[in-house]
């Protein structure tokens, strides 16, 4: 007997509240998503696109590279590197995996200064890469680097470090002192702690990440399911919301069904995904400001939302008949923005928070920026996973 859509929605919300939502949908989602994520038009399959963009990453120098200067690696390169590693593993490309491992080798020697210190979320996220390398190689050198960053994120801050009031409050409530309630922080914190759990099996890392997600959900999620850039910046910036969407999808992949925070995170995730459906344009894209159709279609946020939806459909958290077509349309729209060099265009430049609508509408558009390359690799990985 078929269940009316309204009743299904009510049932889903009830199941989330009591913590069983993921279980209720898992079998149906797994059985019904295959048709949306196969039979790709020529040149658009995740294998082909992932290979092109991953090879482009391998051939790229560290951003900001200058002869004689060694800068620490921060989050855009980390995110692309992590995506390239997962794509190489899931596609079974050992040659690509080897090249990505070799990229790290100088960091054990002459380029050790490229490993950042745990001074903020943008630097600490580096740990996601050595954790992934440890998962794939079991080389303890990678594990040591990753754990040092993940644990320092929760240790008391260095004496000479300025800590924001939000960080001090977070520290008093079991959160990291790097807490500041900017929407993009959520991925940065979540992925390194979740990767620490995946590498070690130690549940403390997963608990840290889950508690942080819930604190950010309570602070930033609006009734429509979307997120302001920060409490004092009331704009739904595309990539900012994209970071949160990916962060939730990543931790939900690892949270056990009986984890005390799973139901709250799943509820926040589903509420966001439902809202995003309303703002996707006819070409599958989301825009620089999500709720402003006059803003330009932006690729990094589109890739992030696509990853979150693909992951939700494949894991049965989202209704496949509703979200499968949206995720497929997003992927096909997104790959049309990749040029022959493997560079993604229409990527919003790095963006600080600012309470000014025109500031977001006027942000520069970049080509080949790793903010945009990374989500392509995450999506390709999710489609193969």
Cα 294–297–299 angle (5° rounding)? 155
In order, the DSSP letters of 340-381 are: TTS-B-SEEPP----S-HHHHHT--EESS-HHHHHHHHHHHH
Question: What is the pLDDT, as a whole number, of residue 65?
Answer: 59
Question: What is the pLDDT, as a whole number, of residue 66?
Answer: 55
| E strand residue ranges, the chain | 347-348, 365-366
Q: For the packed helices 75-91 and 128-137, what is the interaxial angle rounded to 10 degrees?
A: 20
* First-last CA distance in the chain: 32
Question: What is the pLDDT, as a whole number, of residue 352?
Answer: 94
The single-letter DSSP state of residue 183 is T
Residues 45-77 pLDDT 10s: 999 999 999 999 999 999 865 566 678 999 999
For 373, the token pair is: 């390359």
Are the C-beta atoms of residues 54 and 96 closer than 8 Å to each other? yes
Q: pLDDT means per 10 residues in the chain (385 residues)? A: 38 37 40 75 97 97 71 95 98 98 97 94 97 98 98 92 91 94 95 98 98 96 96 96 98 98 98 98 98 97 98 98 98 98 97 96 97 98 98
Question: What is the pLDDT, as a whole number, of residue 21?
Answer: 40
In order, the DSSP letters of 51-77 are: HHHHHHHHHSPPTT-BTTB-PPP-HHH
pTM: 0.90
For 135, the token pair is: 């998962």
Question: What is the pLDDT, as a whole number, of residue 6?
Answer: 39
Question: What is the pLDDT, as a whole number, of residue 69?
Answer: 67
Task: Please tell me the distance from the alpha carbon of residue 233 to that of residue 225, in angstroms, as a whole number.
Answer: 16
Domains of the chain with CATH codes: 12-384 (1.50.10.10)
Residues 169-201 pLDDT 10s: 999 999 999 999 999 999 999 999 999 999 999
Question: What is the pLDDT, as a whole number, of residue 35?
Answer: 80
For 294, the token pair is: 């006059």
Question: What is the pLDDT, as a whole number, of residue 298?
Answer: 98
């Amino acid at each position: 007997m078929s269940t009316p859509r309204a009743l299904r929605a009510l049932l889903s919300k009830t199941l989330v509240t009591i913590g069983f939502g993921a279980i209720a949908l898992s079998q149906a989602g797994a059985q019904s998503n295959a048709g949306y994520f196969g039979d790709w038009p020529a040149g658009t399959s995740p294998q082909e696109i992932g290979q092109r963009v991953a090879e482009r990453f391998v051939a790229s120098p560290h951003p900001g590279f200058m002869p004689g200067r060694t800068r620490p690696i921060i989050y855009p390169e980390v995110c692309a590197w992590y995506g390239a590693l997962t794509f190489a593993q899931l596609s079974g490309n050992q040659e690509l995996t080897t090249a990505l491992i070799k990229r790290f080798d100088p960091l054990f020697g002459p380029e050790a200064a490229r490993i950042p210190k745990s001074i903020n979320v943008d630097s600490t996220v580096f740990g996601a890469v050595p954790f992934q390398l440890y998962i794939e190689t079991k080389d303890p050198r990678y594990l040591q680097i990753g754990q040092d960053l993940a644990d320092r994120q929760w240790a008391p801050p260095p004496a000479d470090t300025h800590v924001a009031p939000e960080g001090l409050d977070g520290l008093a409530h079991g959160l990291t002192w790097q807490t500041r309630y900017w929407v993009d922080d959520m991925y940065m914190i979540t992925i390194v702690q979740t990767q620490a759990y995946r590498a070690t099996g130690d549940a403390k890392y997963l608990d840290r990440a889950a508690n942080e997600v819930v604190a950010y959900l309570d602070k930033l999620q609006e009734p429509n399911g979307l997120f302001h850039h920060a409490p004092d910046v009331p704009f739904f910036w595309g990539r900012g919301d994209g970071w949160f969407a990916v962060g939730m999808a990543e931790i939900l992949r690892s949270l056990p069904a009986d984890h005390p925070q799973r139901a709250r995170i799943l509820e926040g995730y589903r509420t966001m995904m439902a809202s995003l459906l309303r703002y996707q344009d006819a070409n599958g894209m989301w825009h620089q400001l999500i709720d402003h159709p006059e803003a330009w279609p932006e690729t990094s946020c589109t890739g992030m939302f696509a990853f979150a939806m693909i992951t939700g459909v494949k894991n049965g958290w989202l209704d496949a008949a509703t979200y499968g077509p949206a995720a497929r349309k997003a992927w096909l729209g997104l790959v049309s923005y990749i040029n022959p060099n493997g560079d993604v265009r229409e990527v919003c430049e790095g963006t600080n928070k600012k309470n000014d609508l025109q500031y977001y509408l006027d942000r520069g558009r970049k080509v080949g920026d790793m903010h945009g390359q990374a989500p392509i690799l995450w999506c390709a990985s999710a489609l193969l996973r």
